Amino acid sequence: MPSQIKGPALFLAQFAGDEAPYNSLKSIAEWAAGLGYKGVQIPTFDPRLFDLDKAAESQDYADEVKGICAEAGVEITELSTHLQGQLVAVNPAYDTAFDAFAPASFHGNPKARQEWAVDQVKKAAIASKRLGLSHTVSFSGALAWPYLYPWPQRPEGLVDEAFDELARRWKPIFDHYQEHGQDIGFELHPGEDLFDGATWEMFLDKVGEHPAAMINYDPSHFVLQQLDYVAFIDLYHDRINAFHVKDAEFNPDGRQGVYSGFQGWAQRAGRFRSLGDGQVDFNAIFSKLTQYGYDSWAVLEWECCVKSAEQGAAEGAPFIAAHLIEAPARAFDDFAGGERDINQIKGMLGL
């Protein structure tokens, strides 16, 4: 019996490079399949692997991409627009840093850069549909993030206005996605205005509970915030359309805690780790997602400051495979039951 959750799959963004086998979709898909992965999540912002503009325009190209992956032995799980989504909303404090996420022709021009990003995210909906998919993953961008822990205090209404504007920018994109039978799973991530359950609820309210607004569940970011990542599934399971399987650890001491003292990744109290090397309870997560009927992909997003990418990828496929659950076809105590008899039921209740 196949598992309810599909996998293992691999997000290709952290592995793409200029050398083989990481420099083309064909070779990186074959490499992933050779490690035991059944699916790949494709970053639409890396032209070495994927041409988003072409995929939005040409069914032939989309079919070619599907064929390359199928021949390698993997399926496409989702398209990622993380970098373009980040540019949908950028606080001016980050303008210079985030220029790197856009083509050079848009550097120094935030308005043109944002228009390009919106167009890119919209094209991903069309490309995803051409590929026969229905889910995508992204970032929300951030306007309020610099004021997360402010001194002096935020002026009254700043957060409301930031989320109003975020909703104004994303609502037309959601409408476009809905028209094409697609949705967007936001990775709730510090640095984005959507980084936990509270901010997600604020945003969802502002966009009128739009059906295209979904969550790419990633427990690692919740470990670093000390948020109950299993209870999160209880609260928001109906909005989870994608799952990044990523480990993390949080080891506070007398010198640093959640904010990690501006230290490098290896010296932080909160660190991303390769699967199995951190503190995430994946048994609980896979059980909870299975309980609520999640039936999409489990995708490794590898980030680790201790272990190499190659070793992390090689260990990731069997780790995910070992956590996949075959949902039961019947209740475990069915053997002790009998046919339903309404008269018997009434008699047992004294009715």
Q: DSSP for 83-112?
A: HHHHTTSB-GGGHHHHGGGS-GGGTT-HHH
> What's the token pair of residue 21?
């086998």
Residue 280 lies in a domain: yes
Residue 166 lies in a domain: yes
Residue 332 lies in a domain: yes
| pTM, rounded to two decimals | 0.95
Report how far residue 317's alpha carbon sits from residue 69's, in angstroms, rounded to the nearest whole number.
17
Which residues have a Cβ under 8 Å from the Cβ of 34 and sit 6 or more positions away? Answer: none
Contact present, 312 and 345 (Cβ < 8 Å): no
Residue 249 lies in a domain: yes
pLDDT at 2: 80
Angle at 117 between CA 164 and CA 181, to 5 degrees: 80
Contact present, 197 and 207 (Cβ < 8 Å): no
Report how far residue 38's alpha carbon sits from residue 22's, in angstroms, rounded to the nearest whole number.
17
pLDDT at 259: 94
Residue 323, helix vs strand vs coil: helix
Contact present, 75 and 39 (Cβ < 8 Å): yes
Residue 101 lies in a domain: yes
Report how far residue 334's alpha carbon sits from residue 9's, in angstroms, rounded to the nearest whole number.
34
233: domain range?
6-348
CATH code, domain with 22 = 3.20.20.150
Report how far residue 321's alpha carbon sits from residue 89's, in angstroms, rounded to the nearest whole number.
37
> What's the token pair of residue 32?
């992933």
pLDDT at 133: 98
Residue 307 lies in a domain: yes
pLDDT at 60: 98
If one counts the domains in the chain, the total is 1
DSSP string, 203-259: HHHHTTS-TTEEEEE-HHHHHHHT--HHHHHHHHGGGEEEEEE-EEEE---SS--TT
pLDDT at 340: 83
Torsion sign (Cα): 238, 241, 245, 250: negative
**What number of other Cβ atoms are within 10 A of residue 234's Cβ?**
11
Residue 1 lies in a domain: no
**Measured distance between the N- and C-terminal CA atoms of the chain, rounded to whole angstroms:** 43
| Segments in the chain below pLDDT 70 | 330-338
pLDDT at 329: 73
